[in-house]
């Protein structure tokens, strides 16, 4: 049975002084251990958040890692630098594709760096509004997936079902207040798993999350889809009540699926 994962992406919000107390509040509100809970603050806040969440059962993730181990890359941060504080990493977020020009091949190298340092990556894929309206959403998602997975060697690929998580984030639904429907997201989850299977990965074991203006009111529609296994939450992840509601709803799904699986 695939786990249910709720990951909060704080993006470029909070200072180190603010981050620790917010993480503590979130941990006190997100107590359902049937759900994997992950908090991804800005890199400068990682030590404070890791200290605040130590022993709470809530994991810490980084929003990005560099594609190289080390070197002359001013302003960047490597997987080795964040590994003492995190166990998860967001890779290939649409905002980095857009603002930093990240390519699928570059993102694939970041997946490799994550695995070398024991980080579990959340690989983001998703189409723009123009691409969806042009009828090429599925083609774009498959292309992004293939481009990133091509960078994995045979050993990493054969074990990918145990560490890879995919987040489908329709770009047109991020920060706009618009959301895809549960049916839309469920269909893309099927497409993602088809693509994983084509790359020799045990697709049925890989969690697929939805990300795109996720709220406590809307998340149930996506979790009702059997192919959706959680959410990558943006702005709402900074709101304690919202995250509490999202995790509580995810816990219902986790328990229902456990019962259905006879566990």
For residue range 28-75, what is the model confidence (pLDDT) as tens digits? 999 999 999 999 999 999 999 999 999 999 999 999 999 999 999 999
- Across the chain, mean pLDDT equals 96
Does 176 have pLDDT greater than 90? no
Residue recorded with tokens 């059962």: 57
Q: What is the pLDDT of residues 190-211, one digit of tens each?
A: 999 999 999 999 999 999 999 9
How does residue 78 score in pLDDT terms, banded at 50, 70 and 90? Answer: very high
Q: What is the pLDDT of residue 173?
A: 84
- The domain segmentation of the chain, as residue ranges, is 5-260
* Active-site residue (options: 66, 93, 95, 102): 93
- What is the mean pLDDT of the segment spanning 224-247? 97
pLDDT tens digits, residue range 86-128? 999 999 999 999 999 999 999 999 999 999 999 999 999 999 9
Q: Which among 102, 127, 138, 169 is annotated as catalytic?
A: 169
Q: How far apart are CA 42 and CA 28, in angstroms?
A: 21
Active site residue 169: yes
Going by pLDDT thresholds of 50, 70 and 90, the confidence category of residue 177 is: low
pTM above the 0.85 mark? yes
Confidence of residue 172 (pLDDT cuts 50, 70, 90): confident
Would you state the pLDDT for residue 8? 98
Q: Band of the pLDDT at 262, cuts 50, 70, 90?
A: confident
Least confident range from 11-25, 52-66, 162-176, 246-260: namely 162-176
- Say if residue 134's pLDDT is above 70: yes
> Are the beta carbons of 67 and 35 closer than 8 angstroms?
no
| Fold annotation for 5-260 | TIM Barrel (3.20.20)
Q: Which two tokens stand for residue 92?
A: 């290939």
How far are the Cα atoms of 116, 117, 203 from residue 199, in angstroms, in the given order? 20, 23, 9
Q: How far is CA 143 from the centre of its chain?
A: 18
**How far is residue 1 from each of residues 30, 142, 205, measured CA to CA in Å?**
22, 24, 7
């Amino acid at each position: 049975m695939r786990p249910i994962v709720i990951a909060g992406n704080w993006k470029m919000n909070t200072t180190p002084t603010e981050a620790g107390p917010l993480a503590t509040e979130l941990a006190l509100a997100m107590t359902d251990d049937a759900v994997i809970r992950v908090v991804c603050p800005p890199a400068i806040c990682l030590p404070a958040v890791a200290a605040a969440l130590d022993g709470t059962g809530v994991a810490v993730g980084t929003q990005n890692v560099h594609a190289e181990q080390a070197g002359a890359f001013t302003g960047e941060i490597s997987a080795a630098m964040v590994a003492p504080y995190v166990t998860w990493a967001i890779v290939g977020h649409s905002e980095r594709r857009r603002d930093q020009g990240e390519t699928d091949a570059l993102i694939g190298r970041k997946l490799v760096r994550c695995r070398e340092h024991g980080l579990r990556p959340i690989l983001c894929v998703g189409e723009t509004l123009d691409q969806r309206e042009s009828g090429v959403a599925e083609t774009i998602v498959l292309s992004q997936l293939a481009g990133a997975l091509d960078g994995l060697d045979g050993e990493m690929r054969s074990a990918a079902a145990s560490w890879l998580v995919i987040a489908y984030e329709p770009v047109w639904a991020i920060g706009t207040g618009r959301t895809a429907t549960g049916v839309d997201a469920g269909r893309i989850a099927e497409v993602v798993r088809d693509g994983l299977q084509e790359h020799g990965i045990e697709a049925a074991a890989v969690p697929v999350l939805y990300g795109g203006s996720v709220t406590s009111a809307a998340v149930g529609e996506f979790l009702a889809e059997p192919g959706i296994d959680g959410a990558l939450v943006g702005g709402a992840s900074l709101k304690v009540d919202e995250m509490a509601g999202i995790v509580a709803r995810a816990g219902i799904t986790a328990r229902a699926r456990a019962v259905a699986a006879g566990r």
